[in-house]
Structure 1
Amino acid sequence: MATTDTSTTTDDALLSMTDVTSGYGNTTVLHDVNISVREGEIGCLIGPNGSGKSTLMKSIYGFADVQSGTVQFRGEEITGRSPQENLAGGMSYVLQDASVFPRMSVHENMLMGGYVFDDDDRAAERAEELYDEFPILGDIRGQKAGTLSGGQRRLLELARALMVDPDVMMLDEPSIGLEPRFIDDVFERIEQLNDLGTTILLVEQNAEKGLSVADRGFVLASGEIKFTGSGTELLNNEEVGRLYLGG
């Protein structure tokens, strides 16, 4: 029996999906998905490989095709809105795959995150603000991004996504490919960003790690939401543990 958490509705959610069926072209991946995340929360999606977690994120951001249902942000329907419009509208998305420009410097990568400003001075000023938050990046701002460690690249991706000062940051597998010592650093940074007011929706392969920082968790399997609850509720749910947490 799936846990059901009805404390957040689309009326009080910052970001929500209602009865969304989506995929790519004629291929359907998600079926009647409903999720909602309040302002200031961390939401975490877990589930087996191939369950549709990345497709869910891409359906919100405009990289996948929503066939039916609605996506809402700040009470406004954004179903099918382009990624560029979403970025300009206060949403940022860090993809699962490495997305730095390896031949560009750290600083040039940062400025690329502010291209929507159409104002070089404003972008440079915002980058300086973020170097205060990410001093390790400020120290290596002239270094080519392709020479960075996995942990440094992930921090650069996080910082670059903050260039637009987003209301919502979407993170697809932030710990993937990282050494254990860098995973803790990345999750500490995620919690710090949330403490500063950024609402976060993340997909995480390390389910226990993801749920441990989440206010709200969603278990996705075969393109459907199977369980919803607080991160703690899902961590303590025996069926979720047996099926999805390896215990």
Structure 2
Amino acid sequence: MATSDTDTTTTTDPILSMDDVTSGYGNTTVLHDVSIAIEEEDVACLIGPNGSGKSTLMKSIYGFADVQSGTVTFRDEDITGRSPQENLRNRISYVLQDASVFPNMTVQENMLMGGYVFDDDEQAAERAETLYDEFPVLGDIRQQKAGTLSGGQRRLLELARALMVDPDLMLLDEPSIGLEPRFIDDVFERIEQLNDLGTTILLVEQNAEKGLSVADRGFVLASGEIKFTGTGTELLNNEEVGRLYLGG
């Protein structure tokens, strides 16, 4: 059963861990002594009320927030404070909550921007072609300007572009935000498909029940602290979590 402490015991060495991380922006502290651990090839879901620090947690991993104390570890390597560019080269990708496509660029040009870490354009183009096989709807509209896409198509483009580096770990911040229900189901099917292919995923999700339903592990964050942790099923079945955070 999920507990109200920060126990993050796992059966194997985690691919990603945060140990007693306090972080924020400048002189503003948002997270307080946060510890989580995520096993390789798992889907982990972070839920909590607005303003609880969920996006800051993701940004603390990726180098967009200031880690004041504590350690972020990826594959047994300390990556605390590492830049987003270094993390991308280290095969960690991040899909931001806010729309991040380049609207005046085509789908193809957006894809190639995701592969800028490659040594040459040909390698990036080959990777894009591979991903069009996985996302045929994007292949069909590759010459269309990204600014003309529907919300669901933009989100799929963001997911596909994040896959250009063939990431070991993907951070997804609110993948369903602003989408129609039919697109939400499609996005979550993609998330499960990516995970089946071996990608470890940490996602922040406003639709807590949807997020926890696909999660191997879940965390509840409130007021910058981890309040509950457990498997996705445990958190879904926890009466206190349901009452406080799931509307139950």
TM-score band, normalised by shorter chain: over 0.9
Q: Secondary structure at the match of 2:100?
A: coil
Equivalent position of 1:76 in the other structure: 77
Query: 1:208-219 alignment to 2 at 5 Å?
Result: 208-219=209-220
Aligned to 1:34: 35
In 2, Cα distance between equivalents of 1:164 and 1:201: 17
Q: When the two structures are superposed, what TM-score results if normalisation uses the length of structure 2?
A: 0.97
Look up the equivalent residue of 1:53 and give its one-letter code. K
Aligned to 2:10: 8
Partner residue of 2:185?
Answer: 184
| Residue 50 of structure 1: aligned partner | 51
User: Matches of 1:4 and 1:226 in 2, distance apart?
Assistant: 7
2:10 is aligned with what amino acid?
T
Post-superposition Cα deviations, 1:103-156, rounded to whole Å, max 9, x if no partner, equal 000000000000011310000000000000000000000000000000000000
Measure, in 2, the Cα distance between the counterparts of 1:6 and 1:65: 23
- In 1, are the aligned partners of 2:176 and 2:187 still within 8 Å (CA)? yes
CA distance in 1, matches of 2:6, 2:47: 16
Structure 2 distance, partners of 1:70, 1:8, is 18
| Cα pair 1:61 1:81 within 8 Å, conserved | yes
Query: Following superposition, which runs of at least 4 residues in structure 1 exceed 6 angstroms of deviation?
Result: none
How far apart in 1 are the matches of 2:5 and 2:56?
23
TM-score by length of 1: 0.98
Kept in 2, the 8 Å contact 1:4–1:229? The answer is no
1:123 aligned partner, one-letter code: A
Counterpart Cα distance in 2 of 1:5 and 1:207:
21
Give the superposition deviation at 1:2.
Answer: 1.3
| CA RMSD, 1 decimal | 1.1
Structure 1 counterpart of 2:197: 196
How many Å separate the matches in 1 of 2:181 and 2:139? 24
Report % sequence identity.
Answer: 86
Report what 2:23 is aligned to. Answer: 22
CA shift, 1:8, in A, is 1.2
CA-to-aligned-CA distance 1:78-105 (integer Å, 9 cap, x gap): 0000000000001000000000000000
- 1:225 corresponds in structure 2 to 226
Distance (Å, rounded) in 1 between the aligned partners of 2:206 and 2:7: 22
Name the SS for the 2:176 alignment partner.
Answer: coil
